[in-house]
Amino acid sequence: MSTEPEKTQPDFMLDVPQVDPFGHRSDTVSAANPIADLSYRNYTGPLNSHTFRWWVVALAGIRAARQKKGFWAIAGVSVLPYLFSLIGLYLQSRMPVNVNNPITNNTVGQKYASSFFQLTDFNLFMMFVMTLMVGSGSISADNRSNALLVYLSKPLTKVDYLIGKWMGIFTTLFAVALAPALILYIYCIMTFWSDGIFHQEPWLLTRVLLACALPAALHASLMVGFSAWCKTPRVAGAIYAGFYFFSGIVSGIIWMIRTHGNMSEQVLLRHISVSGLMRGMVQNVYNVTDKVTSFGSGMPSITDISAPSAKGVFLISLIVGGIGIMAARARIRAVEVVTG
Amino acid sequence: MTTESTIHLEHVSKWYGQVIGVNDISCQVGTGITALLGPNGAGKSTIIKLITGQLKPTTGLMRVVGLVPFANHEVYHHLGYCPEIEQLYDEMTGREFVRFMGALSGANGQKLKERTDEVITIVGMDHAADRKIGGYSKGMRQRVKLGQAIFHNPKVIILDEPFNGLDPIGRREMTNVLNSFAEKGHAVIVSSHILYEVEQMTDSILLMNRGRLLAQGKVHQIRSLIDKHPHSITIRTPDVRRMAKCLTDYPFIISLNIDPKEIDKLQVQTASPDEFYNTFPQLVLENNFVVSSFHSPDNNLESVFNYLVND
């Protein structure tokens, strides 16, 4: 590497780098250009406007998530229930028509939605694990390495940064949840078209999209808040996991005290936890009843439990998610300003 | 050489509660390299944070390329910042990091890739650009940080302790990059403790101590204004005593010292270095003195720094 090209090259070489017949500048040593031009060169390309700069931050988050082996492991596990369901549906389609449907609910309008609800419900826990993996370090890692100094020295607002981080988590969670659901949906459409699947449940695709998006959005909103207030991904993940389980235990205990375990009562109260809110949202989106097995008279009986109040669940989710985002916004700053 | 003003501070103060960070600073910085010097706690970092818009001045007026910097992301279109931090994204390669930062600056597509490669070459990281930052030395981290700072061709670049962790060759290479950057009409502000390296790079300084700006300008100009410490010059000649006798006639000579251990060495102290430098050649010619060496040991940045900070 040359350090003083000006002493060995003609003067014009200092400001006008050598250009070959194809217009390429000679930055490297070659027979024609034995000394590399390492002096500063102005950037001549375009610089985009401010719009969508947050997407660069989001993309970096998505790429970082994809590089983790754990990401692929959890994504693989998330596919399994859908895969089993798909195999079941395939076998069912091979059976005589009069055989009872072993997988889906036969209630009109809930036949397929009910299956999708059960599958999404199962995957909510996997989504939580995925959130810990891809979201805990989203801002806390920047806090630890002081990378906010570098980030916010670019033409990027605090809001851009926050949106980027949120989108990085949300997009990853959404994609992992949606991909297997979408494959199953396409399979159902192709297989059961003649059964009138599209006419019976025309909004199924919209419901699938929403059922994947809403829990992902709530996870992302809460996780950015926890991550922003922590110095390390491990601590952020541990605190979020604690909050996730603790909120479920507390709401369960309060519900149990107030209803003595009657599943049909105080349904909204039973759902006031991170996992409960997500389940409540998904159930409302699919508009299905939940089947609960009870042993009231000694013999098991199946009770239909309706979804918690949609208004209540969505409002509480909005407030909780909003608190997460506001907490992150309050925390994100390039320097720690000491106030007297 | 600094010319037109790119950064403008007018009576700027910053208080951290009851602690003062910088106190009534007024200065202008133009194109070229300017060194921001001062001991720990002098207020250098606060000034940098004010210029980069990370802090809001408590009082006073600030402009960077004509814009108010605080919380103004538009400023960063014209500003490159190379912070002191050493930890970066350890999982990224140097090339990925520079490309990511370039994308944040607004470049995309083929230009983003080309410019990334160009910047990697400029900062001398071709050989290690595809290794993960986690395995980089301090010097390599400094280079990729510089790379991201110069990526978008900013009008102003601010470097906080850029020589930390760099070996002598690395320092020289970084100095060359910064010099060529400044020669193209950009403003460079370098905060550093390594006075020798700063002196090799520029003679234009901003000297701070205890939150105040002690001096701004060229080192030799500032030195000539320090009356409290006479200017010291060392001359080596075989005619030490005869030269000393001649010099006593001049009123601007304050003292002459002959070292008995080094009989060819004459130390002169003068209150007016300019007058001395104008007169001395004529004196040598008229008296046929043989002068083997002639230098001023305290006409350097370190002396100026010590005189101003310690007094």
pLDDT in the model for residue A131: 96
Distance CA A143, CA B98 (A): 20
Q: Please, how many CA atoms are within 13 Å of residue B134, restricted to the half-sphere of its CB? A: 4
Q: Which residues pair with B293 in a beta bridge?
A: B236
Compute the distance between CA of residue B44 and CA of residue A27 in angstroms, rounded to an integer: 36
What are the two backbone dihedrals, phi and then psi, of residue A28, each rounded to the nearest 5 degrees?
Answer: -110, 160
The per-residue pLDDT for A10 is: 38
Q: Could you tell me where the DSSP H helices lie in A102-232?
A: 111-135, 140-145, 148-151, 158-192, 197-200, 204-228
- CA A137 vs CA A133, A146, A166: distances in Å: 8, 13, 12
Whose CA is closest to A64, among B132, B147, B83, B149? B132
pLDDT digits (tens, 9 = 90+) for B31-90: 899 999 888 788 888 899 899 888 899 999 999 999 999 888 888 888 999 888 777 778
How confident is residue A152, by pLDDT bands cut at 50, 70 and 90? confident
Inform me whether the pLDDT recorded for A295 exceeds 50.
Answer: yes
- Is A34 buried (19+), middle (13-18) or exposed (0-12) by CB count in 10 A? exposed
| Nearest Cβ partner for A338 among B16, B148, B152 | B16
Report whether pLDDT(B246) > 80: yes
C-alpha Rg value of chain B to the nearest Å: 23
Average pLDDT, chain B: 85
Give the C-alpha distances (Å, rounded to integers) separating B182 from A7, A225, B150.
18, 42, 11
Across the range B28-32, mean pLDDT stands at 90
Contact present, B170 and B144 (Cβ < 8 Å): no
Rounded-to-integer distance, Cα B244 and Cα B67, Å: 57
Residues contacting residue A297 through CB under 8 Å, at least 6 positions apart: none
SS3 call for B5:
strand
Q: Where are the alpha helices (DSSP H) in chain A?
A: 12-15, 54-66, 69-94, 111-135, 140-145, 148-151, 158-192, 197-200, 204-228, 233-259, 267-270, 274-286, 310-331
In this structure, what are the phi and psi dihedrals at residue A71, rounded to the nearest 5 degrees?
-60, -45
Average pLDDT score over chain A: 81
pLDDT digits over A158-167, tens only?
Answer: 889 999 999 9
CA B238 to chain centroid, in Å, comes to 38
Instruction: Give the DSSP letter string of B11-66.
Output: EEEEEETTEEEEEEEEEEEESEEEEEE--TTSSHHHHHHHHTTSS--SEEEEEETT
**Does residue A317 register a pLDDT over 90?**
yes
Residue among B53, B77, B83, B54 at smallest CA distance from B145? B83
The answer to whether A40 contacts B122, with C-beta atoms less than 8 Å apart, is: yes
Best mutation site among B86, B110, B180 for testing chain A: the one with the most A CBs within 10 Å?
B180
pLDDT above 90 (res B139): no
- Most A CBs within 10 Å, among B73, B76, B89, to test the A interface: B73
Q: What is the mean pLDDT of residues A146-157?
A: 82
- B254–chain A Cβ distance below 8 A for any pair: no
**Predicted pLDDT at A336:** 44
Please tell me the least confidently modeled range out of A162-166, A288-292, B26-30, B134-138: A288-292
Residues of B in contact with A146 (CB under 8 A): 83, 85, 87
Q: Check CB contact of A51 with chain B, cutoff 8 Å.
A: no
Q: What pLDDT does A1 receive?
A: 42
Percentage, residues of chain A above pLDDT 70: 79
pLDDT recorded at residue A33: 55
In the structure, what pLDDT confidence band is assigned to residue A303 with cuts at 50, 70 and 90? confident
Of the candidates A287, A305, A306, A303, which has an alpha carbon nearest to the alpha carbon of residue A295? Answer: A303
Give the tokens for residue B127. 């050989």
List phi, psi (to 5°) of B6. Answer: -105, -35
State the Cα–Cα distance between residues B60 and B58, nearest whole angstrom.
Answer: 7
**Residue-level pLDDT at A236:** 95
Instruction: Answer yes or no: are the C-beta atoms of A36 and A1 closer than 8 Å.
Output: yes
At a CB cut-off of 8 Å and minimum separation 6, what does A184 contact?
A: A82, A85, A86, A89, A116, A119
Query: Structure pTM?
Result: 0.77
**pLDDT number for residue A13:** 37
Q: How many residues does chain A have?
A: 340
Identify the weakest region by mean pLDDT among A119-128, A188-197, B144-153. A188-197
The yes-or-no verdict on residue B311 having pLDDT over 80 is no
ipTM of the complex: 0.71
pLDDT for A97: 59
Mode of pairing for the β-strands spanning B187-191 and B32-37: parallel
pLDDT digits (tens, 9 = 90+) for A213-268: 999 999 999 999 999 999 899 999 999 999 999 999 999 898 888 877 777 777 78
Tokens of A294: 């009870």
Furthest CA-CA distance within chain B: 74
| Residue A38 confidence class, pLDDT cut points 50, 70, 90 | low
Nearest to A189 by CA among A176, A174, A177, A205: A205
Q: Which residue has the higher pLDDT, A103 or A90?
A: A90
Contacts of B114 in chain A (CB under 8 A): 45
Contact map slice: A 14-43 vs B, CB within 8 A: 14, 27-28, 36, 38-43
Flag whether pLDDT at B227 surpasses 60: yes
Alpha-carbon distance B117 to B126, whole Å?
A: 8
B300 pLDDT above the threshold of 80: no
Highest-confidence range of A38-42, A236-240, B185-189, by mean pLDDT? A236-240
Interchain contact, B107 vs A340, CB within 8 Å: no
**Is the Cβ pair A48, B73 closer than 8 Å?**
no
- The pLDDT value given to residue A5: 44
Tally of CB atoms within 10 A around B137? 14
Residue B118 near residue B125 (C-beta atoms within 8 A): no
> Do B170 and B127 form a contact (C-beta atoms < 8 A)?
no
Instruction: Determine which of A32-46, A59-73, B154-168, B171-185 has the lowest per-residue pLDDT on average.
Output: A32-46
Percent of chain B's residues with pLDDT above 90: 32
Amino acid in the structure at residue A126: M
* Higher pLDDT pick, B227 / B177: B177
pLDDT band, very low/low/confident/very high, at B149 (cuts 50, 70, 90): very high
pLDDT, tens digit (0-9, with 9 covering 90-100), for A183-220: 999 988 888 887 777 788 888 999 999 999 999 999 99
User: Is it true that domain B5-224 has CATH number 3.40.50.300?
Assistant: yes
Rounded distance between C-alpha atoms, residue B96 and residue B100, angstroms: 6
Topology given in CATH for the domain delimited by B227-310: Alpha-Beta Plaits (3.30.70)
- Checking DSSP bridges between strand B293-295 and strand B187-191, what pairing results, if any? unpaired
Given the structure tokens 């006639």, which residue do they identify?
Answer: B249
Residues in chain A closer than 8 A to B73 (CB atoms): 50, 154-157, 160
- The answer on pLDDT for A150 being more than 90 is no
Residue type for A228, please?
A
Question: In Å, how far is A318's CA from the nearest CA of chain B?
Answer: 29
Say yes or no to pLDDT of A42 above 90. Answer: no
Answer whether A45 sits within 8 Å of B114, measured CB to CB: yes
What is the distance of C-alpha B163 from the center of its chain? 11
Highest-confidence segment of A13-17, A319-323, B105-109: A319-323
* Residue extents of the structural domains in chain B: 5-224, 227-310
